[in-house]
Amino acid sequence: MEQVIANGLYLGAQYALIALGLTLIFGLMNVLNFAHGQMYVLGGFITYAIYGQLGLPFPVAVLASGVSLAVIGGLMERYLFRTVIRRSHREESTMLLAAATAFFFDAVILLIFGEKQRGVPKIVKGVFHDFGIILPYDRIVVAVVAALMIFAFILFMKYSRTGRAMRALAQDRVAAQLMGIKVDRYTMIGFALGAMLAGVVGGLLVSITGVNSGIGGPISVKAFLMIMIGGAGVVGGAIAGGFILGMMESVGLTVLREYGDVTYLVIFAALMIFLAIRPNGLMGKPWG
Amino acid sequence: METILQIRDLTRRFGGLTAVNNVSFEVREKEILSVIGPNGAGKSTLFKLIASFLKPTSGEVLYRGERISGLAPHIAARKGVVRTFQETTIFRNMTVRENIIVAHHLRSKASLAGFFFGTRAAREDERAFGESADEIIHFLNLDDLAREKAKNLPHGHLRALGIGIGLATNPAVLLLDEPFAGMNHDETHKAVAMVRRLRERGLTVLLVEHDMPAVMKISDRIVVINFGQKIAEGTPLEIQNNEKVIEAYLGAEDEAIGM
Amino acid sequence: MTATRKLAGLAIFLLAVFVLVPALIAATGRKDLYYTLTSVALLSIASAGVWLTFYIGRINMGQGAFALMGAYVAAVLVTRYGMSFWWTLPAAGLFCALASLLIGLPILRLRGVYFAMVSLVLTEVTRLLALAVPITEGAKGITNIPLPGAISLFGITLVPDFSTMENPRIAFYYLAVTLMVIAFAAMYRLVNSRIGHICMSLQQNEELASSIGVNIVHLRLIAFAISSFLGGVSGAAFAAVTQSVYPSSFTVTDSVNFMLNCFLGGLGYVFGPMLGTLTLYFGWNLLFQTGEFQLLIYSSVMILLMLVLPNGLLSLGEGRRKG
């Protein structure tokens, strides 16, 4: 039992961080970023290259992942999404663009890093073993770092000038513009921030699960799940969704182990029923 | 005159807030009845309840003795109670004529499959809809704009189009949502004449409105609500001299200027 | 466009797909193109379904699920129950249409990105289901599906048994193209009839549509069922062509591709999905020679296309007419 909860929390913390980035981008620009999982993978490979190959310290590598993805995200918003949003008749067009960028990242990752599974040396050795819980120390470190980052993100959105501007933007774009908020600038920052979060999680997790070029798509699907559970575009919803999915996975993998790979089938089915009852997720704003 | 619409003990709560509280009144056949009230009095909730766009917490709306509240909007429309929207709600990417033709949905005798296969009934429907649409367009003085995309229409005509869409359904009762909002004196004058002509077509009109002078000019009877409750009902003259109404409006204005 | 011009267009199109293309293939000896074109035709049918759901204002990324479902239904019916391939086509379509009614009832209430995400998840659920339930035989799938048999009416053989043919691929090409022509003719009729206008009214404003008496729940279900029917038929035909079906036959990527086909062709044009499928599929195949750069070039071109033509390929014609 304790073990299941501990696993769930560990998974939940990293999931929540992934979902936060996705929901931020969605909330700000109504764009469903299909490339989110690919951004995660990219972050993982950057950390792999810097920490695993070059042998620089792990925090430096994770930082580099975050910064690179922030730059990539900012450029994507500025030169791709902004143009398409301006010129297209239908807002769904951004989904196509997002899907195309996802393919593009897949291709780039495949070309540079190949299709092999990559791992790096453990960052902390040893295993925590007490209170009926067995959890390797490195997982604890990752979970704690993730939790701290979630906390920092909330503080940032609540109290910083940039964070407040972005929240205003997510609430009502036109009103924000009338209030004198530089909409273009903060949209770009928001996209960069969302991408950065994906990159950082990717970097953190490469130390535990490793990374390979094929997992971008599945990660995106999981991230969609989380923000649907919590309600898209809402910070609290993303965090809740992340932890709920983490818990469900942890419980499912324990309870349903004998039945093979049905955990996700059950989770998906449960989600569809849940959404039928609550179309906007736990705390989402009504959509459309 | 016979009663066509009966609003009985209608109540709607949102969480802890009671937007409409136990409101009852009747609408008689072929009259123009206005619901007025200060800002936030619950007019628009009441309007949505009558049009079946919201389900009442309790109470009911009867059309010729049949309950229509709590059912889907298209069922109310099918029975003959049709609402219009404020101006931005139109089929933006269709022309004026297409807007009105598509709104003839309820009049079609042919089935959807009939339209697919182009049966005789379907062709007959198409022809009839076209004629009827042209008549409505003429009635609304939109002839010159018939082939214009709705999104390109000037503001004043959008509301006329909204009414045209409503008319196309061949309703018995037309519910108008703030038909004079945002109009200048001249436009209001024309719109008032238009609403009168709706009645001449044999329609019963229930409207929710802000613009007091227009309401006084046009209505046979007026229902006043405040804080979700009905506070008065009567002819324009009776309402003008009603203490409670004067108080409600003055009170609301005091609040508005911060007293 | 006048009626004569439309008829002429139709005649040229039919001539092209039924006579010119086979003649061209025979002349150049590129028999492999039959398979490519068969795939394009079948995939464009599924894309047409997705297009219809777009037309009522839903971003449908669940078509992979219905194509997979259709493929399995056909495969199971043929291999286990010995049903004729020709019956499995409508059977698979109807099965998918029914399934879509059950699934659609709750999820069609969702709009925008929510519907998109749930339908995407649906594709994944179907794949997992195919892995989990016994009748689909798990990851190894159903293989060695027999080729379609003969159709005869009153003792006259209308279509010979595919297995007796020298090159069944040609027969499959004709089959796929015929299905495609029927599907798009039906779509064209649908969209240009009153039903299309009502669907359009739904896309533009659901509240207003219901205020004029349109049963929006009903209509959404019908459109989704038609879409899924097309998905199922396409999947069933695909299973017959490849003589096999696996859980990975149609995945999330396919669902996304169906959507991309519609986008690329243009959401405002009935024939958009056909053109989109042709372009994407051929584009992808052409790039095969670039080896490891295939995906990179493909996605770059797609991004560029989005930047230059965010409203689809067919919007090019539109711009000319206006200008």
Query: CB contact, 8 Å: B115 with chain C?
Result: yes
- Give the 3-state secondary structure of chain A: CHHHHHHHHHHHHHHHHHHHHHHHHHHHHCCCCCCHHHHHHHHHHHHHHHHHHCCCCHHHHHHHHHHHHHHHHHHHHHHHHHHHHHHCCCCCHHHHHHHHHHHHHHHHHHHHHCCCCECCCCCCCCEEEECCEEEEHHHHHHHHHHHHHHHHHHHHHHHCHHHHHHHHHHHCHHHHHHCCCCHHHHHHHHHHHHHHHHHHHHHHHHCCCCECHHHHHHHHHHHHHHHHHHCCCCHHHHHHHHHHHHHHHHHHHHHCHHHCCCHHHHHHHHHHHHHHHCCCCCCCCCCC
pLDDT band at B256 (very low <50, low <70, confident <90, very high): very low
Q: How far is residue C250's CA from residue C74's CA, in Å, rounded to a whole number?
A: 14
Domain count of chain A?
A: 1
In a domain, A172, yes or no: yes
Q: Does residue C226 sit within a domain?
A: yes
Question: Does the pLDDT value for residue C72 go beyond 90?
Answer: yes
What's the rounded Cα separation, in Å, for the pair A7 and A253? Answer: 10
Q: Is residue A223 part of a domain?
A: no
Is a pLDDT exceeding 50 seen at residue B75? yes
pLDDT at B257: 43
Domain tally, chain C = 1
Full-model pTM: 0.84
For position A177, what pLDDT does the model report? 78
Q: Picking from A266-280, C57-71, C115-129, which range would have the lowest pLDDT averaged per residue?
A: A266-280
C288 within domain boundaries: no
* Model confidence at C78: pLDDT above 60: yes
Return the partners of chain B (3 or more C-beta pairs < 8 Å): C
Per-residue pLDDT at B258: 40
Domains B1-80+172-259 and B86-170 share a fold: yes
Q: Which of C186, C189, C211 sits opposite B82 (nearest CB)?
A: C211
Asked whether residue C134 is assigned to any structural domain, the reply reads yes
Interface of C with A in 36-95 (CB under 8 A): 54, 59
Residue A17's domain spans which residues? 2-214
- Residue found under tokens 């993805």: A69
Q: Is C116 at the interface with chain A, CB within 8 A?
A: yes
- C212 and B105 Cβ atoms separated by less than 8 Å: yes
* CATH level 3 topology of B1-80+172-259: Rossmann fold (3.40.50)
C24 belongs to a structural domain: no
Of A95, A103, A268, the CB nearest to C299: A103
pLDDT digits (tens, 9 = 90+) for A66-108: 899 999 998 888 888 888 888 777 767 788 888 889 989 988 8
Domain ranges, residue C191: 30-251
B149 touches chain C (CB under 8 A): no
ipTM: 0.84
Asked if pLDDT for residue B252 goes beyond 70, the answer is no
Q: Is B86-170 a CATH 3.40.50.800 domain?
A: no
Residue A27 in domain: yes
**Which pLDDT tens digit goes with each residue over A155-200?**
888 888 888 888 888 877 777 777 777 888 888 888 899 999 999 9
Name the closest residue on chain B to residue C201, using Cα atoms: B91
Task: Place A210 in a pLDDT band, splitting at 50, 70 and 90.
Answer: confident
**C124: chain A residues, CB-CB within 8 Å:** 221, 264, 268
Q: At B10, which helix (H) or strand (E)?
A: strand B3-14
Q: Say yes or no to pLDDT of B67 above 60.
A: yes
d(CA C42, CA C48): 10
How far is residue C319 from each of residues A88, A92, A94, A99, C323, measured CA to CA in Å?
13, 20, 21, 26, 6
- Give me the mean pLDDT over the B91-111 stretch: 84
- The string of pLDDT tens digits covering residues C138-154 is 778 888 888 887 777 77
Which pLDDT band holds residue C322 (cuts at 50, 70, 90)? Answer: very low
Confidence at B250, pLDDT banded by 50, 70, 90: low
Tokens of A19: 């979902």
Q: How far is C197 from chain B (nearest CA, A)?
A: 6
User: In chain B, where are the structural domains located?
Assistant: 1-80+172-259, 86-170
